[in-house]
């Protein structure tokens, strides 16, 4: 379990790097590198998927694994849900402030836990529900600081907020599909299905709208793909190593990464209310881990053992 928590924290850092680069290429006026072109969201998904697919396919071939895996139906569910969720999220990054778009995405741990409790009958204590709620309040407070920078929500922004919620729900579906697949698939096969499905769809989309990369932009696009691969493998391994209801809430720490990056990289002022949000997130994930529901005796009267 401890390794699973460690992996999902590292995954959150890698995903933050991806989101940071996507935000730069989607809104070059706010980037720390001058002269960048603006890229449509689907093109960023295409390059992300191209790099990830190339790495995954090479590893599968090298290890002699079955290319399409074993449980193809759940692999397709994981790939489709993840692809649609990511594409929508990239669009929200283009149309909403980073703090708000990230806050919406961090609804996914809540959906993941709720789906897991229904799909896998994972028991959730009232204290775990409460700790998840406390952590999300912390995320909401951090996201709210994005509204204090002069951003006002319009009618079109309300649409993107709804789509952001849909994206987080689909992420919850994808994460639970990973848990469903942990007994039959290798992590690299699970990772493969996302880019394999995304490439043809976004590739056709790029025929309609495409920005030709130049200079350092090629390197940034490559980094998006590499960090994506690292994040996906770490996330997949994390979800295979313990209870979803314990591991997934650690994704809330990503809101802290985003906040601190604005402080150190973009010289944004860190308000006291943001510090309250950080404390709530940390309290939520710590309480969720320490006071998770203990396992019940099995049919033989023996206690199941946690993989801590």
Classify residue 301: in a domain, yes or no. Answer: no
Q: Average pLDDT by consecutive 10-residue portion of the chain (308 residues)?
A: 85 87 80 85 93 95 93 94 90 76 75 79 74 77 58 61 87 90 91 93 94 95 95 90 74 70 59 71 69 48 37
Q: For residue 122, tell me if it sits in a domain.
A: yes
What pLDDT is stored for residue 142 in this prediction? 64
- 136 HSE (CA, 13 A, CB side): 17
Q: Phi and psi (nearest 5°) for 182?
A: -65, -20
Question: Whose CA is closest to 8, among 194, 228, 239, 171?
Answer: 239
For residue 201, what are the domain limits?
2-290
**C-alpha span between 166 and 290 (Å, rounded):** 31
Q: Contact, 25 vs 220, CB < 8 A?
A: yes
In a domain, 255, yes or no: yes
Q: Is residue 16 part of a domain?
A: yes
For the question of whether the overall pTM of this predicted structure is more than 0.85, the answer is no
- 128 C-beta neighbours (distance < 10 Å), count: 23
Residues in the chain: 308
Helices 41-63 and 187-206: angle between axes, nearest 10 degrees: 140
Res 145: pLDDT? 59
Q: Which structure tokens are listed for 185?
A: 């698939």
Q: In this structure, are residues 44 and 132 in contact, taking their beta carbons and an 8 Å threshold?
A: no
Number of H helices, E strands in the chain: 12, 0
Rg (CA), the chain: 19
3-state secondary structure of 297: strand
CA dist 86 and 245 (Å) reads 22
Domain assignment present for residue 297? The answer is no
C-alpha 154, offset from chain centre: 26
Chain centroid to Cα 31, Å, comes to 22
Tokens at 251, concatenated: 């994704």
Could you give the maximum distance between any two Cα atoms of the chain, in Å? 67
| Counted domains in the chain | 1
Residue 308 lies in a domain: no
Residue 165: both structure tokens together: 């919620």
Question: Which DSSP symbol is given to 304?
Answer: P
Domain membership of residue 168 (yes or no) is yes
Task: Tell me if 252 sits within 8 A of 284, measured CB to CB.
Answer: yes
Tokens 């005796």 belong to 297
CB of 211 closer than 8 Å to CB of 39: yes
């Amino acid at each position: 379990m401890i390794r699973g928590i460690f992996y999902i924290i590292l995954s959150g850092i890698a995903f933050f790097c991806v989101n940071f680069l996507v935000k730069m290429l989607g809104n070059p006026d706010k980037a720390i590198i001058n002269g960048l072109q603006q890229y449509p969201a689907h093109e960023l998904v295409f390059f992300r998927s191209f790099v990830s697919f190339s790495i995954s396919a090479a590893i599968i071939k090298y290890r002699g694994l079955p290319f399409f895996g074993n449980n193809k139906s759940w692999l397709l569910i994981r790939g489709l849900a993840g692809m649609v969720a990511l594409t929508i999220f990239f669009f929200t990054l283009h149309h909403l402030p980073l703090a708000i778009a990230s806050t919406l995405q961090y609804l996914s741990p809540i959906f993941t836990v709720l789906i897991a409790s229904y799909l896998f009958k994972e028991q959730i204590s009232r204290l775990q529900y409460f700790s998840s709620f406390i952590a999300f309040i912390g995320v909401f407070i951090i996201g709210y600081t994005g509204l204090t920078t002069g951003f006002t929500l319009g009618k079109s922004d309300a649409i993107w907020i709804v789509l952001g919620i849909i994206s987080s729900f689909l992420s919850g579906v994808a994460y639970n599909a990973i848990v469903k697949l942990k007994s039959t698939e290798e992590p690299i096969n699970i990772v493969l299905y996302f880019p394999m499905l995304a490439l043809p769809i976004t590739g056709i989309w790029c025929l309609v709208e495409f920005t030709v990369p130049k200079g350092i932009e090629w390197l940034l696009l490559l980094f998006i793909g590499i960090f994506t691969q690292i994040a996906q493998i770490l996330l997949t391994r994390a979800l295979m190593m313990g209870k979803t209801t314990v591991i997934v809430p650690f994704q809330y720490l990503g809101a802290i990464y985003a906040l601190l990056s604005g402080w150190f990289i973009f010289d944004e002022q860190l308000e006291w209310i943001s510090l309250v949000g950080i404390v709530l997130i940390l309290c939520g994930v710590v309480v969720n881990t320490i006071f998770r529901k203990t396992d019940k005796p099995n049919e033989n009267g023996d206690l199941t053992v946690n993989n801590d």
